Structure 1
Amino acid sequence: MMSDVLCSTLSLQAGEPLFGSAKQISVWFLLEFDGRWEAEAFKDSQLSAPVRTYLQLALNTIPHAQVLLIRQQPRLAPPGNTLFVALPREKKPALYEFHLADEDDVPALDLPALLAGDKAYDAHRRTEPLFLVCTHGRRDRCCARVGLPVYEQMAQLAGPAVWQTSHIGGHRFAANVIALPHGIIFGRVRPDSAAPLVDAYRAGMVLPQYYRGRVCYAKVAQAAEFHLRSETGITGPDALRLGSVEPADEEWVVEFRAVESGITYTLRLREAQMQIITSCGDMEPETFTQYQLINLSTAQP
């Protein structure tokens, strides 16, 4: 029966591409919570009312903001209740790390000041990479079955720099891994690919074979970036700047500029529709848009 088949298996069998599938995010609030994660982890959590109100206000007022619950098993982080605030923007992405005495200290953060880059929070800037692995089995069983072995392997490699996270979207691409501060989401990661992925990102390289997308971009730009990296071999996460994204007669024209060389790359993409079972237990497929590369041209500075 369809309900007995993992959605991640169906996606792989259907040949669904990974790229261009990441949800666009401007701010992530990553709050440690070791209690029960329901299917809607933040919405149905047992966080205190002041914390929930504070974070919900942020979600209501900041476009493309998201709250994720995180945990470590066993716990390897410094003492305190951990909160990360990630700003995965294209230029100068930032990651702030807090170890609070109690979760009720979260509302004391001056969020507008933090988002504006107030120097009062410079001491909390994290300079080392952070990795989050979705293991949210109550949202979809693929996340636990496929995600937990990847989390365990990554934790052996990178220790306290690795956390489990609640649902980030796209469980059919499990195991899903977020690499911060850049906010790159990788999919279909397996235990034997954990070390190459971690080592590459720490060395300042993006592995395109696991690339779902960089969350500062819309999905069409994510797809264009993937095609550009695949065609040129550009690997640096900061090596490209998005210029423009324009629709053109059922096609898209996307421009990127290479930071080092100044070369402008123009990509023409065509939309294609694909029907996919998105969650374990679903009986009816949903339609998703993919972006196929038609042409790539270059212009010297």
Structure 2
Amino acid sequence: MTPEEAATGPFFCSDAARTRGDPIVGTAPYGDVWILVEYRGGWPVNGFDGLDLEPDVKARVYRAAQAVRARILLVRRHGRRTSSGAAPLWAVLRYERSGTHRQRWGTWRSDADLTEIVNALDAPGQVGLPPVVLVCAHGQHDPCCAVRGRPVARALSERWPDLVWECAHVGGDRYAANVVVAPDGVYYGGLDGRSSVAAVGEHLAGRIHAEHLRGYTNLFPPQQVAVAAVLELVGPAGRHDYAVTETSRAGDRWRIRVAGRSPRAALFDVEVRAYRTAPTRLTCRGAGRSSAVVHEVVSISTG
């Protein structure tokens, strides 16, 4: 315990972020492929990398993931519930801009079984499956992920037991509780039990709200902010109802055009500014101070 903690109590980065009013929009990490590995034991602080697996197997999966910029996440059911005798699962989830998302699932009992992930990354997956709801609950990585994530995982699992998994670190500890809907590629943050059920329920019904939205993972931060601004202005919409069609940058400012998919939908021109925050402590386990880049909307107009 640091002297500061001895005087004020334990530091929780998500509490500090809420106190500062840290914006969450524009903070979804970029990517469109996810590898899930069900692991029912304790999770190492560095997730898949820290598992005691056959080195060659781990290296093959890791290299294949790097080649397509896939994120590897350990997953488990809330409460570590399992079907009696069932083998752990793995999955490859892939986002496609057409909206035809693909998933491929398998099982593993030995380390060697995980090499099937490598083949799955090169194979088309199945379409038409419901999305997977991932709740970061990786307490070994950051205490806030467990303190805030597990109650959310419980609430969501009670409502959608077949869709919801606890997962390892997804990025943005201070925005806990974090939920990722994949392969839709949508990040939500700052959730609790009630708001998570509302957000996921609306998402599954094809209505994504700006509130609690961190961003779409196929977009870069200023583009994420622009789309969220449109949703805040016009109301919730489906994952593919709006698309970024133009992006230009001049210094610390971006001009981003967002277009609706339907013929009668409006065009929106959004100006976004980037700036750095003052250095502060951003995670529970990192005692050092760092600045963060924030993107904010300067103006929005219809074209």
* Aligned match for 1:98, one of 89, 102, 105: 105
Structure 1: where are the runs of 5+ without partners? none
Shift of 1:29: 0.5
Matches within 5 A, 1:236-251: 236-251=238-253
- Kept in 1: contact 2:273–2:298 (CA 8 A): yes
Q: For 2:57 and 2:152, how far apart are their aligned partners in 1?
A: 30
How has the CA–CA distance of structure 1 residues 240 and 137 changed in structure 2, closer, same or farther, with 3 Å as cutoff? same
Counterpart in the other structure of 2:276 = 273
How has the CA–CA distance of structure 1 residues 126 and 97 changed in structure 2, closer, same or farther, with 3 Å as cutoff? farther
Residue type at the aligned position of 1:113: D
SS of the residue corresponding to residue 195 of structure 2 reads helix
* Aligned match for 1:190, one of 184, 189, 192: 192
TM-score, normalisation: structure 1 = 0.89
Residue type at the aligned position of 1:274: T
* Aligned match for 2:31, one of 19, 25, 33: 25
- Kept in 1: contact 2:74–2:168 (CA 8 A): yes
- Kept in 2: contact 1:243–1:257 (CA 8 A): yes
- Kept in 2: contact 1:7–1:278 (CA 8 A): yes
Pick which of 15-24 and 87-96 moved more. Answer: 87-96
Task: Say whether residues 1:142 and 2:151 are aligned partners.
Answer: no
SS of the residue corresponding to residue 99 of structure 2 reads coil
Pick which of 47-56 and 144-153 moved more. Answer: 47-56
* Aligned match for 2:302, one of 289, 298, 301: 298
Shift of 1:53: 2.0
Q: For 1:207 and 1:232, how far apart are their aligned partners in 2?
A: 10
How has the CA–CA distance of structure 1 residues 56 and 145 changed in structure 2, closer, same or farther, with 3 Å as cutoff? same
Task: Say whether residues 1:85 and 2:92 are aligned partners.
Answer: yes
Shift of 1:74: 3.8
Deviations along 1:118-163, whole A, 9 cap, x unmatched? xxx43xx452121110000010000011111111111101002110
Shift of 1:168: 0.6
Identity score, percent: 22
TM-score, normalisation: structure 2 = 0.89
Q: For 2:221 and 2:83, how far apart are their aligned partners in 1?
A: 33
How has the CA–CA distance of structure 1 residues 108 and 179 changed in structure 2, closer, same or farther, with 3 Å as cutoff? closer
SS of the residue corresponding to residue 49 of structure 2 reads coil
Counterpart in the other structure of 1:75 = 81
How has the CA–CA distance of structure 1 residues 128 and 280 changed in structure 2, closer, same or farther, with 3 Å as cutoff? same
Q: For 1:134 and 1:208, how far apart are their aligned partners in 2?
A: 20
Q: For 2:300 and 2:108, how far apart are their aligned partners in 1?
A: 52
Shift of 1:245: 2.0
* Aligned match for 1:108, one of 116, 124, 137: 116
Shift of 1:102: 2.6
Shift of 1:36: 2.3
SS of the residue corresponding to residue 145 of structure 1 reads helix
Shift of 1:270: 1.3
Higher relative contact order, structure no. (Cα contacts within 8 Å, ≥ 6 residues apart): 1
Task: Say whether residues 1:36 and 2:42 are aligned partners.
Answer: yes
Q: How many residues align?
A: 291
Shift of 1:27: 1.2
Shift of 1:179: 1.0
- Kept in 1: contact 2:189–2:214 (CA 8 A): yes
Counterpart in the other structure of 2:157 = 155
Shift of 1:112: 5.1
- Kept in 1: contact 2:269–2:302 (CA 8 A): yes
How has the CA–CA distance of structure 1 residues 101 and 15 changed in structure 2, closer, same or farther, with 3 Å as cutoff? closer
Deviations along 1:197-219, whole A, 9 cap, x unmatched? 22111101112211011111111
Shift of 1:50: 4.3
SS of the residue corresponding to residue 48 of structure 2 reads coil
- Kept in 1: contact 2:90–2:108 (CA 8 A): no
SS of the residue corresponding to residue 136 of structure 1 reads coil
Deviations along 1:233-291, whole A, 9 cap, x unmatched? 14211101121221123211111210013532211111122234211143433111212
CA RMSD of aligned residues (A): 2.0
